Amino acid sequence: MDPITLIGIVVAFAIVMVVLTLEGGSAASILLIPPMLLVFGGTLFIGAAGMSFGLLIASLKAAAKALVTGPPKYNNLMETLVDCANIARRDGLLSLEATVNDLENPLLRRGLELAIDGTDPQDLSRILEAELHSETVYGNRHSKFFTDMGGYAPTIGIIGTILGLVTVLGNLDNPDELGGLIAAAFVAAMWGVLSANVFWLPLANKIKLLNELHTTQGEVIIEGILAIQAGANPRMVERRLRALLPTDVMRDIEKAA
Q: Exposed, middle or buried: residue 145 (CB in 10 Å: 0-12, 13-18, 19+)?
A: buried
What is the C-alpha separation between 129 and 167, in angstroms, rounded? Answer: 57
- Determine phi and psi for 121, rounding to 5 degrees: -55, -40
| Of 243, 221, 254, 231, the residue nearest 78 (C-alpha) | 221
Q: What is the pLDDT of residue 152?
A: 96
Q: What is the pLDDT of residue 142?
A: 94
Collect all residues with Cβ–Cβ distance below 8 Å to 90 and sequence separation of at least 6: none
End-to-end Cα spacing for the chain: 19
Q: What is the pLDDT of residue 13?
A: 92
Q: Which domain holds residue 44?
A: 4-75+122-256
Q: What is the pLDDT of residue 101?
A: 82
* 96-103 contacts at long range (C-beta below 8 A, 24 or more positions apart): 96/228
What is the C-alpha separation between 122 and 98, in angstroms, rounded? Answer: 25
Local structure of 73: helix, strand or coil: coil
Q: What is the pLDDT of residue 130?
A: 95
Within-domain flag for 115: no
Collect all residues with Cβ–Cβ distance below 8 Å to 29 and sequence separation of at least 6: 20, 183, 187
Within-domain flag for 116: no
Give residue 162's Cα distance to chain centre: 33
User: Over its length of 257 residues, how does the chain's per-residue pLDDT go in tens digits?
Assistant: 678 889 999 999 999 999 988 988 788 888 889 899 999 999 999 999 988 999 999 999 999 999 888 777 777 888 888 888 898 888 888 888 888 888 888 999 999 999 998 899 999 999 999 999 999 999 999 999 999 999 999 999 999 999 888 877 777 677 766 666 777 788 999 999 999 999 999 999 999 989 988 898 899 999 999 998 888 888 888 888 888 776 666 556 555 54
Q: What is the pLDDT of residue 233?
A: 85
Within-domain flag for 98: no
Determine the number of helices (DSSP H) and then strands (DSSP E) in the chain: 12, 0
Within-domain flag for 190: yes
Q: What is the pLDDT of residue 237?
A: 83
How many structural domains comprise the chain? 1
Within-domain flag for 144: yes
Q: What is the pLDDT of residue 72?
A: 76
What is the C-alpha separation between 175 and 179, in angstroms, rounded? Answer: 8
Give the largest CA-CA distance in the chain.
90
The radius of gyration of the chain from alpha carbons, rounded to an integer in Å, stands at: 26
Q: Exposed, middle or buried: residue 123 (CB in 10 Å: 0-12, 13-18, 19+)?
A: exposed
Q: What is the pLDDT of residue 159?
A: 92
Within-domain flag for 17: yes
Q: What is the pLDDT of residue 208?
A: 93
* The model scores a pTM over 0.75: yes
Q: For residues 157 and 46, is the Cβ–Cβ distance under 8 A?
A: no
Within-domain flag for 87: no
Within-domain flag for 41: yes
